[in-house]
C-alpha cells in the first residue's frame, strides 16, 4: 500500500512537470526557431510530443524519489 502512495505522488509531480516542460519548450522553440513558415505549429508539436512527456518522466522519477526519502 505504501508503494501506491509513492506512485501517486510521482503522478502528481508528472502532471505538473508535463505542463511546466511543455510551456518552457514552447517558448524556447518560439524564440529560437529559424523556421519562418510554421513556427507556431513546430513549437506546439514539439512541446506536446517531446518536451512535455520528457519533463513528465523526469518529474515522475523526482517525485517518487522525493516521496521515498521524505517517508
Phi, psi (degrees; rounded to nearest 5) at 9: -60, -40
User: For 49-67, how does the pLDDT look when each residue is reduced to its tens digit (9 = 90+)?
Assistant: 999 999 999 999 999 999 9
Alpha carbon separation from 18 to 6, 42, 60, 65 (Å, rounded): 18, 18, 10, 17
Q: Mean of the pLDDT values across residues 32-59?
A: 94
Number of structural domains in the chain: 1
pLDDT at 36 over 90: no
Tell me whether residue 38 is exposed, middle or buried, using C-beta atoms within 10 angstroms of its C-beta: 0 to 12, 13 to 18, 19 or more.
Answer: exposed
Domain of 48 in residue numbering reads as: 2-70
Amino acid at each position: 500500500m505504501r508503494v501506491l502512495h509513492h506512485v501517486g505522488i510521482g503522478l502528481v509531480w508528472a502532471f505538473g512537470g508535463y505542463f511546466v516542460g511543455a510551456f518552457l519548450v514552447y517558448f524556447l522553440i518560439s524564440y529560437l526557431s529559424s523556421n519562418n513558415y510554421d513556427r507556431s505549429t513546430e513549437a506546439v508539436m514539439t512541446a506536446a510530443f517531446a518536451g512535455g512527456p520528457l519533463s513528465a518522466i523526469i518529474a515522475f522519477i523526482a517525485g517518487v524519489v522525493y516521496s521515498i526519502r521524505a517517508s
